[in-house]
């Protein structure tokens, strides 16, 4: 044994043994027992029926996905807002600062500000969140079992309150959007019907299609008369050999007159100015069909908006999403924290690693000299 060996042993004693002894004395003498209450819950969304799916998913206005709600709930549990609410209900500062004089390491300092309480909250409330399944597990530490159970129960109640607020906001938004869409659809339908009424008043034609059908009936009648005249002419031609027969001349004249009238009616159909402003039938038909299409589309939009409002009103009358508690807050029977054995083991490991590193550094510098 040389002098450096004794120095190495002394350094091990000062760096590892003494701090480890101090930590053990504090853990088993001064550290206060802590009780853990666990709870588990998730956000469930009500499944929509087939009728709602047929309507194109209009019920989705009533709420967002359960996964996004679980994300919001996870952030809420670790937020300052929840800490402030619970501190008002049960004086968290008073409870966690009560053993501070004996256990300053694991207790909160008396008169701590809200920021200090929020930092301490991250230590005593441990949240485990599985994003794929949306399951949230909460473990609450307190210095007595009843307080741990009470805090865990309060977290569940505040979480349920948050979900209800999200539900109410989603319902209000769904109703507001559906009512706004319905008002817009009503105004659009009113404008489309007024435009069609203005067209009929201006042209003095209630239905251009009916008017066209009347003219088509005239043409069909003339074509039928032309066919009969041609048949009469053919029969007279077979029964007489005199080309100057007055009956043949009269029959030919009748055919020419009917044929001329048919051509004139067809020309009038395209060129006649039937509107007040001199529009012809093709122009009036194009305007009428455009106005009719606008009215039909407005009627369909009105029916869709009315259906959406009914769906939103139906969904607003029921709970579209809710907090499902699958592990109710437990009442602990024995203290689980602080985990003295684990803390001592980790302390020993890090102290030995630190001492070994310092020893290697010392010998490295000594060998270079």
- Give the model confidence (pLDDT) of 59-90 as tens digits: 444 444 556 888 889 999 999 999 999 999 99
Query: Which tokens belong to 216?
Result: 């088509």
Measured distance CA(206)–CA(210) in Å, rounded: 8
Domain layout of the chain by residue ranges: 32-203+318-344, 204-312
What are the residues facing 45 on neighbouring strands?
Answer: 321
- 81 contacts: CB under 8 Å, gap ≥ 6: none
| pLDDT tens string 339-356 | 999 999 999 999 999 999
Measured distance CA(272)–CA(281) in Å, rounded: 7
Q: Report the Cα–Cα distance between both ends of the chain, in Å, rounded.
A: 22
SS3 233: helix
Share of the chain above pLDDT 90, in %: 40
* Average pLDDT of the residues in 189-197: 89
The C-alpha angle 6, 9, 14, rounded to 5 degrees, equals 125
The neighbour count for residue 181, using CB atoms within 10 Å, is 19
Strand arrangement of the beta sheet that strand 125-130 belongs to: 125-130, 135-142, 35-45, 321-327
What was the pLDDT predicted at 309?
85
- 188 contacts: CB under 8 Å, gap ≥ 6: 298, 301, 302
* Average pLDDT of the residues in 231-238: 81
Measured distance CA(291)–CA(194) in Å, rounded: 10
CATH 3.30.1890 fits 32-203+318-344, yes or no: yes
Secondary structure letter of residue 329 according to DSSP: P
What was the pLDDT predicted at 64?
43
**Averaged confidence pLDDT in the chain:** 83
Q: Which of 49-63, 148-162, 261-275 has the lowest mean pLDDT?
A: 49-63
- 214 contacts: CB under 8 Å, gap ≥ 6: none
Query: Which tokens belong to 284?
Result: 């009036």
* Average pLDDT of the residues in 35-51: 77
The neighbour count for residue 239, using CB atoms within 10 Å, is 10
pLDDT tier, 53 (very low <50, low <70, confident <90, very high otherwise): very low
SS3 35: strand
* Average pLDDT of the residues in 233-245: 75
The C-alpha angle 323, 329, 334, rounded to 5 degrees, equals 165
What was the pLDDT predicted at 329?
94
What was the pLDDT predicted at 121?
94
SS3 118: helix
Among the listed residues 179, 181, 197, 177, the one whose alpha carbon sits nearest the alpha carbon of residue 295: 197
Residue 95 has pLDDT above 90, yes or no: yes
Phi, psi of 128 (to 5 degrees): -115, 125
Q: Is 210 exposed, middle or buried (0-12, 13-18, 19+ CB in 10 A)?
A: exposed
What was the pLDDT predicted at 61?
40
What was the pLDDT predicted at 215?
66
* Average pLDDT of the residues in 120-144: 92
What was the pLDDT predicted at 57?
45
Secondary structure letter of residue 103 according to DSSP: -
What was the pLDDT predicted at 348?
94
What was the pLDDT predicted at 9?
87
| pLDDT tens string 315-325 | 766 656 788 89
pLDDT tier, 56 (very low <50, low <70, confident <90, very high otherwise): very low
Q: Tell me which residue has tokens 């994300």.
A: 71
């Amino acid at each position: 044994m040389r002098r450096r060996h004794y120095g190495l042993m002394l350094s091990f004693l000062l760096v590892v043994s003494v701090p480890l002894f101090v930590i053990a004395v504090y853990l088993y003498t001064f550290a206060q027992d802590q009780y853990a209450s666990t709870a588990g819950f998730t956000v469930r969304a009500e499944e929509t029926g087939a009728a709602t799916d047929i309507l194109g998913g209009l019920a989705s206005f009533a709420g967002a996905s359960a996964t996004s709600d679980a994300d919001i709930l996870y952030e809420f549990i670790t937020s300052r807002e929840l800490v402030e609410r619970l501190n008002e209900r049960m004086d968290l500062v008073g409870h966690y600062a009560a053993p501070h004089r004996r256990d300053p390491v694991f207790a909160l300092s008396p008169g701590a500000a809200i920021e200090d309480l929020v930092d301490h909250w991250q230590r005593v409330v441990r949240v485990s969140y599985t994003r794929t399944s949306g399951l949230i597990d909460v473990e609450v530490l307190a210095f007595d079992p009843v307080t741990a159970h009470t805090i865990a129960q309060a977290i569940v109640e505040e979480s349920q309150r948050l979900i209800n607020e999200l539900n109410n906001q989603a319902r209000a938004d769904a109703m507001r959007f559906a009512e706004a869409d319905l008002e817009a659809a009503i105004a659009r339908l009113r404008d489309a019907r007024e435009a069609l009424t203005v067209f009929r008043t201006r042209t003095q034609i209630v239905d251009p299609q009916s008017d066209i059908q009347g003219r088509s009936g005239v043409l069909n009648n003339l074509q039928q008369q032309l066919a009969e005249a041609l048949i009469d002419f053919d029969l007279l031609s077979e029964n007489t050999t005199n080309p100057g027969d007055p009956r043949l001349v009269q029959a030919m004249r009748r055919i020419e007159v009917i044929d001329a009238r048919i051509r004139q009616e067809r020309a009038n159909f395209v060129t006649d100015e039937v509107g007040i402003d001199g529009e012809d039938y093709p122009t009036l038909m194009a305007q009428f069909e455009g106005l009719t299409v606008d009215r039909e589309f407005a009627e369909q939009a009105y029916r869709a908006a009315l259906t959406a409002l009914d769906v939103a009103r139906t969904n607003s009358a029921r709970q579209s999403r809710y907090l499902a508690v699958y592990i109710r807050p437990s009442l602990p029977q024995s203290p689980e924290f602080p985990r003295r054995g684990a803390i001592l083991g980790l302390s020993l490991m890090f102290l030995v690693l630190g001492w070994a590193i310092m020893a290697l550094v010392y010998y490295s510098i000594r060998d270079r000299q």
